[in-house]
């Protein structure tokens, strides 16, 4: 019998990757069950039944939405929603309230519902829960110390999910970007653009300014989705996991690699985060180390796969 998986935020960068991953894992083969099946063929049995919900299906901060989830009775709930307007949350009190409602309160309530219906619950967090002062990267057990309101909201979400109990996975990630198949043109205008998309749009500029004094672990959404599926498939213990691609780089080094893979060479101008005029305190060095499972492949390898899918704009 198939397991019902509910993906919240299914139209986002990660949500789309999760839909694809759980659909790709949707069948297993077993020996022929009847003479009608020819030699070598296999009958297929569904592993997962995917429910893909997004904003039009309900507001995750609303109490009546929780009743809708209970009625759907999923065995796995994956919360790929999140507030990530980092600058706005820092400077606007109304936006800060929304940030905490989405990133902190809603995950806690979802975790409680998951426990009530005996479902596994997955929630995503961020490298922003760290202050970036530690050299050599952060493990899952390092003490958080967020610098921004966004980081504080995500840490509160982690704490609320853990407090709810039940079967849960808190997966921290960093600098998320998704698949970029097809033409690099208007199709990139969906939601908040990733750094990869922004750099691709700048390939024909004579020069591009990029920050050099912030390091993190770029993460390819399909790899994070596969990491999530593996935790569930392996019935891994509840807890915090780091699901970012292995290694780290500065924004400048990331841009260099993007342009190298594209075969383009605008002049890169190194600038500091202060020169970039950021209103948000970001961790200067927030590499995420995975010490609990097999590491996710290196960030540069994942980026190469992503960029290989890109076709030049007509």
Q: Which residues are catalytic?
A: 150
Who contacts 56 (Cβ-Cβ below 8 Å, separation ≥6)?
none
Written in H, E and C, the secondary structure of 241-299 is: EECCCECCEEHHHHHHHHHHHHCCCCEEEEECCCCCCCCCCCCCECCECCCCCCCCCEH
Of 293, 280, 210, which Cα lies nearest the Cα of 249?
A: 210
**Residues 6 or more apart whose Cβ sits within 8 Å of residue 81:** 8, 9, 12, 60, 102, 106
Residue 176 contacts residue 227 (beta carbons within 8 Å): no
Retrieve residue 115's tokens.
């426990």
């Amino acid at each position: 019998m198939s397991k019902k998986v509910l993906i919240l935020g299914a139209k986002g960068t990660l949500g789309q990757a999760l839909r694809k991953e759980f659909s790709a894992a949707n069948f297993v083969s077993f020996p022929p069950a009847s003479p009608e099946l020819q030699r070598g063929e296999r009958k297929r049995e569904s592993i997962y039944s995917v429910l893909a919900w997004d904003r039009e299906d309900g507001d995750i901060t609303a109490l009546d939405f929780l009743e809708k989830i209970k009625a759907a009775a999923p065995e796995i709930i994956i919360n790929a929603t999140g507030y990530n307007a980092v600058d706005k949350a820092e400077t606007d009190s109304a936006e800060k309230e929304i940030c905490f409602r989405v990133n902190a309160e809603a995950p806690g309530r979802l975790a409680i519902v998951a426990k009530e219906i005996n479902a596994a619950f997955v929630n995503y967090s961020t490298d922003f829960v760290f202050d970036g002062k530690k050299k050599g990267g952060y493990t899952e057990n390092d003490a958080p110390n967020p610098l921004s309101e966004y980081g504080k909201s995500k840490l509160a979400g982690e704490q609320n999910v853990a407090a709810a109990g039940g079967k849960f996975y808190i997966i921290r990630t960093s600098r998320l970007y998704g698949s970029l198949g097809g033409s690099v043109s208007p199709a990139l205008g969906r939601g908040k653009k990733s750094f990869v998309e922004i750099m691709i749009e700048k390939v024909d500029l004579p020069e591009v300014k990029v920050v050099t004094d912030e390091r993190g672990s770029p993460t390819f959404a399909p790899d994070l989705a596969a990491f999530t599926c593996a935790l569930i498939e392996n019935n891994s213990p509840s807890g915090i996991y780091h699901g970012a691609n292995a290694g780290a780089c500065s924004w400048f080094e990331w841009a260099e690699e993007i342009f190298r893979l594209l075969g383009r060479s605008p002049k890169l101008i190194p600038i500091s985060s202060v020169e970039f005029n950021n209103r948000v305190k970001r961790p200067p060095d927030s590499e995420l180390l995975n010490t609990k499972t097999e590491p996710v492949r290196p960030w540069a390898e994942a980026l190469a796969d992503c960029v290989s899918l890109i076709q030049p704009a007509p």
